[in-house]
Amino acid sequence: MMRGSYFQPLSWNLRLKVALGAARGLAFLHSAETKVIYRDFKTSNILLDSSYNAKLSDFGLAKDGPTGDKSHVSTRIMGTYGYATPEYLAMGHLTTKNDVYSFRVVLLEMLYGRRGVDKNHPSGEHNLVEWARPYRTSKCKFFRVLDTRLEGQYSLGGAQKVAALAFQCLLTKGRYRSNMDEVVSALEQLQDAKDTTKSTPDECKDSNQKLSSNGQRARRRS
């Protein structure tokens, strides 16, 4: 959706637009009387038209959701590693919350410009979700690992809200995860918000300057 050396990186506003369009697509699938579980939601299955409207593609692994009083569908585990819920991987219990979990990985990809699973990174950094966890609680740490291709053209407050939404969907127990209608509503509010928070917080600038000066003194002493 936004990677590759031959493509211009998407701006922050376009990334929000694509995320919202994809979220609406999943919400539509989940709203049907017989719910459809996409089961393999990931960035490579999002198609964009010339106006950057998102369309879901490749429904080969889609599955009808549970009916009646059933809470889940028991099925063979299929999909893409790094995007599936823990309960699905452990027991083969499939619900619409599997798509919600997958969507949160795509939100993290949008923020950090990294794949959900990428073994080109050092050991311990292959899985995006695990790598990103420690950075979500500190504004400066979070700022330092955002996709540099955004070139500061974003609202830090908005980016933090997207991260919070992503990790809200990360709760291990599926019944506590947001549904896609709630995700759509949150993204619509973010898109409409006039957030003026600086993309580079002053305190993070000061911290970076201290780190830089300390490094220079260390090099001089050596």
pLDDT at 208 over 60: no
Query: Was domain 12-221 assigned CATH 1.10.510.10?
Result: yes
34-87 residue pLDDT tens: 889 999 999 999 999 999 999 999 998 999 988 877 878 888 888 888 888 888
Active-site annotation holder among 40, 64, 118, 192:
40
40 is catalytic: yes
Q: What would the mean pLDDT of 4-13 be, rounded to a whole number?
A: 73
Q: What pLDDT score does 211 carry?
A: 41
Extract long-range pairs of 147-152: CB within 8 Å, 24+ residues apart: 147/9, 147/111, 147/112, 147/113, 147/114, 148/113, 149/9, 149/113, 150/9, 150/11, 150/12, 150/113, 150/199, 152/199, 152/200
Q: What would the mean pLDDT of 195-221 be, rounded to a whole number?
A: 52
